Structure 1
Amino acid sequence: MSARYLKLAAGLLAAIVLGGCVAPKANVDYSAFKESKPRSILVMPPVNESPDVKATYSLYSQVKYPLAEAGYYVLPVGLVDETFKQNGLTNATDIQETSPAKLREIFGADSALYVKVTQYGTTYMVITSQTLVTATAKLVDLRTGTTLWTGTASASSDEGGNNSGGGLVGMLITAAVKQIVNSSTDAAHPIAGITSGRLLSAGHPAGLLYGPRSPKYGTD
């Protein structure tokens, strides 16, 4: 991956995370979360409900960063994935059905994050194409099985843009070119990074609480 690509993805993440957040939810009850005080998070391989097979590992490779920024110790996702494989578990749905007690026994984490990718990839519509990634998540206390938090977030390549210039022919050509480029480079991957940031960053309405490694711990 080129330095230019990484710089662009980082810029998009910084700008759009600040401008967007998880779907708003009124009167979020954080009482169980505050009582649990999780310090470590086991991120489960995301269940992919989209038609694109790249969705699971595209999002999975990017969830650690916002969680670590929020102040949590995140078990290395590569090690977690390999541990499941060595125990004969390769399907994300089967993995997420493992009991909290068993996960606690194997990994020793305080909590587990269960993620689903509901939309991933580029769709082509006559005069435009759009790359969209949507994901949901829930944080579960592995010591009690209690759900501590749930959230959903989405990001799109069309945010802040428009295709109004050049008339109908120009719009058709732009859409076709975008479709070819997006399909050949997995344009959804950086969009998945933005979705991950929106979904799992702390400090915004309905988001995760700050973890014990954050200087803002206990302020939310």
Structure 2
Amino acid sequence: MKLSHLARLCLCAALPLMATACTTPVKGPDYTAFRSAKPRSILVLPPVNHTPDVNASTGLIAQMTHPLAEGGYYVVPVAVEIETFRQNGLDTPDDIMQAPAAKLQSVFGADAALYTTITAYGSVYQVLSSNTVVTATSKLVDLKTGSVLWSGSGTANSGDVGDPQVAAGGIIGLLVTAAVKQAVHNLTDQSFDVAHVAAERLLRVGPPDGLLYGPRSVKYGTD
């Protein structure tokens, strides 16, 4: 079947637009400030907890050092950091977040600080399902200038670490499965394992939108 004259004109007009759409690159994050600052050391501040679980901040910060160290950064020891804050009357993440950047830099000697907020942490139980979810957002701030060098988010759920399987059919089977999952989550505090995956995703290093590689990484300067 031959194309009509009008159809050919429409097709010819559409082709340049289609080509432009296909070749236009997706704009990534701006790393200009990050590359200029060249942070070598990071202070991981206790995450602010916006969830009902009182263990959220402790559970997540325990997992955050590893991806940063693997990415090539020196991370201020969390235990030393928290004890220092405590001795200076800063006992909660909310209080710590209010500390001036210049003061943090003078006390800990770090180049940058990681500010984190937890928006989901723990098990959610519904009639036919149960799931453990951890979600957080972070921003890396230059302690000398106060500039935001990078920001990102990460989330994970119980499916990322494996859930118990119960062989049962029908509505009763679904209820039993949900009950077993909830019991396992409560007994094993699965949030801690899910937080590990969430932290790895949150603080991923490398393209397309993760942190830049740190100076201790063999990939430093390649991104």
What's the CA shift for 1:163?
A: 8.3
Matching residue of 1:40: 41
Matching residue of 2:18: none
2:155–2:198 contact (8 Å) kept in structure 1: yes
What's the CA shift for 1:193?
A: 0.4
Residues 5-154 of structure 1: matches in 2 within 5 Å? 26-154=27-155
Matching of residue 209 in structure 1 with residue 196 in structure 2? no
Query: How does the TM-score come out when normalised to structure 2?
Result: 0.84
SS for the counterpart of 2:136 is strand
Q: How many percent identity over aligned positions?
A: 54
Q: Name the amino acid aligned to 1:51.
A: P
What's the CA shift for 1:58?
A: 0.5
Matching residue of 2:175: 172
Q: Name the amino acid aligned to 2:156.
A: A
Higher RCO, 1 or 2 (CA under 8 Å, sep at least 6)?
A: 1
Structure 1 or 2, whichever has the larger Rg, is 2
Query: How does the TM-score come out when normalised to structure 1?
Result: 0.85
Moved more, 153-162 or 66-75: 153-162
Judged with a 3 Å threshold, the aligned counterparts in structure 2 of structure 1 residues 164 and 36 are, in CA distance, closer, same or farther, namely: farther
2:42–2:110 contact (8 Å) kept in structure 1: yes
How many residue pairs align between the two structures? 196
Matching residue of 1:190: 193
2:134–2:191 contact (8 Å) kept in structure 1: yes
- C-alpha distance in 2 between matches for 1:144 and 1:77: 23
- RMSD of aligned residue pairs (Cα, Å): 1.8
Moved more, 163-172 or 56-65: 163-172
Moved more, 159-168 or 36-45: 159-168
What's the CA shift for 1:190?
A: 0.5
- C-alpha distance in 2 between matches for 1:37 and 1:91: 29
Judged with a 3 Å threshold, the aligned counterparts in structure 2 of structure 1 residues 88 and 165 are, in CA distance, closer, same or farther, namely: same
Judged with a 3 Å threshold, the aligned counterparts in structure 2 of structure 1 residues 163 and 119 are, in CA distance, closer, same or farther, namely: farther
Q: Name the amino acid aligned to 1:110.
A: D
Deviations 1:143-169 (A, max 9, x none): 100000000110011358798962221
- C-alpha distance in 2 between matches for 1:67 and 1:123: 29
SS for the counterpart of 2:216 is coil
What's the CA shift for 1:206?
A: 1.1
Moved more, 170-179 or 67-76: 170-179
Q: Name the amino acid aligned to 2:187.
A: S
1:69–1:201 contact (8 Å) kept in structure 2: no
Q: Name the amino acid aligned to 2:199.
A: S
Deviations 1:88-131 (A, max 9, x none): 10010110111100101111110000011110000111111000
Matching residue of 1:12: none
SS for the counterpart of 2:159 is coil
